[in-house]
């Protein structure tokens, strides 16, 4: 069944306001297929929704995935209302099916969900200004603070070992050994880069395992483009893409933001001379994130924030390289060698962080 037929069938399960007059594909994200639904109301105004086909190859248990999202957003909505905020703009809102389910499953096991569309807000792949990045830091720090009372242990692990860097390294070693598409011979330099940093892959895992840092509710994909920025105020208003909300560490959430947002180039930039970790952006994010958390972080968590940036960047490069060696089976690719380009970008960022390490430590001390 093609995607158009699937969408037609899936939409019958939902009660939406107005008549659907337009469906646009939104080519964003590596995992799910996303569409914008435009509905015309009786008064001739329009209302929009976000429709997503969930990638069930990645998210094996859709019930648990959606239970996490609904529980977290319901919790956030209650807090936002108590704080006098706007729950329709400050958190995602899941549209239930006609039979009150969190998503619909078709006969062919394809799964679809719908969110309210957040109007007059934009996401950015790269920070257009230091202020944008600062605002995203405040938003993710605030996300941590708002969920600090949510019992992390009640969340399902939707992707086991998602930010377990040691496990990611083991998966890379397995992919190297099996070499299923005969690519190992072409990436010896990238493999050596990772293996020389094997000790780094265990640092955060060991801190969690030894209870030196606490497990918290974490977003686990804190890229700049997972934050909605209000078009008028230019303030961050909502965290989106909650598929990987799970128990984890704040170090990974902080680190992934730096990895993606403080880079001077896109995640798949081919020209590595363009790739650096901007210290101006690193400082803006560190300041905003710590302000957003409002004192909830432990001293050890604050101390290890720069290491979170380095390790998560290394981990992401490992994931891209592993997928490349496995034949590009996880991340969506749009050109030959796309995952390898992504891996090389991450490794260049790691190297740049290492070269600027003392500067990163001093910036972190300034705000911690």
pLDDT for 76-111, tens place per residue?
Answer: 999 999 999 999 999 999 999 999 999 999 999 999
**Which residue matches tokens 């619909």?**
104
Tens-place pLDDT, residues 185-215: 999 999 999 999 999 999 999 999 999 999 9
Kindly state the percentage of the chain with pLDDT values over 70: 99
Per-residue CA distances from 341 to 118, 187, 270 (Å): 33, 11, 6
* pLDDT(225) > 90: no
274 pLDDT tier (thresholds 50, 70, 90): very high
Say what the pTM is: 0.86
Instruction: Choose among 335, 332, 248, 256: nearest CA to 53.
Output: 332
Shared domain check, 157 and 113: no
**In 196-298, which residue ranges form alpha helices assigned H by DSSP?**
200-209, 250-261, 279-293
Q: At 17, which CATH number?
A: 3.30.200
Burial of 157 from C-beta contacts in 10 A (0-12 / 13-18 / 19+) = middle
Q: What is the pLDDT of residue 31?
A: 83
* pLDDT(30) > 70: no
Per-residue CA distances from 334 to 27, 54, 265, 318, 339 (Å): 11, 19, 18, 19, 9
160 pLDDT tier (thresholds 50, 70, 90): confident
Shared domain check, 179 and 106: no
Shared domain check, 305 and 176: yes
Tens-place pLDDT, residues 257-268: 999 889 999 999
Shared domain check, 286 and 267: yes
Domain count along the chain:
2
Q: What is the pLDDT of residue 29?
A: 65
The neighbouring-strand residues paired with 19 are 40
- The Cα 277–Cα 359 span in angstroms is 11
Shared domain check, 153 and 113: no
Burial of 209 from C-beta contacts in 10 A (0-12 / 13-18 / 19+) = exposed
Q: What is the pLDDT of residue 128?
A: 77
Residue length of the chain: 368
**Average per-residue pLDDT for the chain:** 95
Shared domain check, 111 and 191: no
Q: Is 41 part of a structural domain of the chain? A: yes
Tens-place pLDDT, residues 118-146: 999 998 877 778 988 898 899 999 999 99
Question: For residue 282, which phi and psi values (nearest 5 degrees)?
Answer: -60, -45
Domain that holds residue 301: 130-367
Q: What is the pLDDT of residue 131?
A: 87
255 pLDDT tier (thresholds 50, 70, 90): very high
Tens-place pLDDT, residues 304-344: 999 999 999 999 999 999 999 999 998 889 999 999 999 99
- The answer to whether 305 and 368 are in contact (CB under 8 A) is yes
Instruction: Choose among 224, 263, 281, 229: nearest CA to 350.
Output: 263
Shared domain check, 135 and 106: no
Shared domain check, 312 and 209: yes
Q: At 261, which CATH number?
A: 3.90.1200.10
Domain boundary among 70, 85, 119: 119
């Amino acid at each position: 069944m093609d995607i158009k037929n699937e969408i037609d069938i899936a939409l019958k399960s939902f009660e939406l306001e107005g008549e659907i007059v337009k469906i646009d594909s939104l080519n964003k994200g590596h995992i799910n297929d996303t569409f914008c639904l435009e509905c015309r109301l009786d008064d001739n105004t329009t209302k929009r929704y976000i429709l997503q086909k969930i990638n069930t190859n990645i998210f094996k248990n859709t019930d648990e995935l959606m239970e996490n999202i609904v529980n977290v957003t319901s919790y956030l909505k209650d807090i936002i209302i108590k704080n006098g905020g706007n729950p329709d703009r400050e958190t995602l809102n899941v549209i239930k099916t006609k039979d009150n389910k969190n998503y619909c499953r078709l006969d062919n096991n394809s799964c679809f969900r719908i969110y309210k569309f957040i109007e007059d807000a934009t996401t950015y792949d790269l920070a257009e200004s230091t202020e944008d990045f600062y605002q995203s830091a405040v938003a993710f720090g605030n996300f941590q603070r708002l969920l600090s009372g949510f019992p992390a242990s009640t969340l399902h692990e939707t992707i086991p070992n998602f930010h377990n860097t040691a496990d990611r390294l083991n998966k890379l070693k397995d992919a190297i050994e099996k070499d299923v598409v005969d690519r190992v011979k072409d990436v010896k330099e990238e493999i050596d880069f990772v293996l020389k940093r094997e000790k780094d892959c265990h640092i955060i895992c060991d801190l969690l395992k030894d209870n030196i840092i606490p497990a918290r509710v974490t977003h686990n994909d804190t890229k700049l483009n997972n934050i909605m920025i209000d078009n008028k105020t230019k303030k961050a208003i909502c965290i989106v893409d909650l598929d990987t909300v799970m128990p984890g560490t704040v170090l990974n959430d902080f680190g992934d933001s730096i990895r993606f947002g403080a880079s001077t180039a896109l995640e798949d930039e081919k020209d590595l001379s363009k790739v650096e970790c901007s210290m101006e952006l690193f400082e803006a994010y560190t300041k905003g994130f710590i302000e957003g958390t409002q004192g909830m972080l432990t001293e050890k968590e604050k101390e290890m924030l720069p290491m979170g940036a380095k390790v998560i960047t290394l981990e992401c490069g490992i994931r891209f390289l592993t997928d490349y060696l496995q034949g590009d089976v996880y991340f969506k690719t749009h050109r030959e060698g796309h995952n390898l380009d992504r891996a090389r970008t991450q490794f260049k960022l790691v190297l740049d962080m290492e070269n600027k390490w003392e500067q990163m430590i001093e910036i972190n001390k300034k705000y911690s």
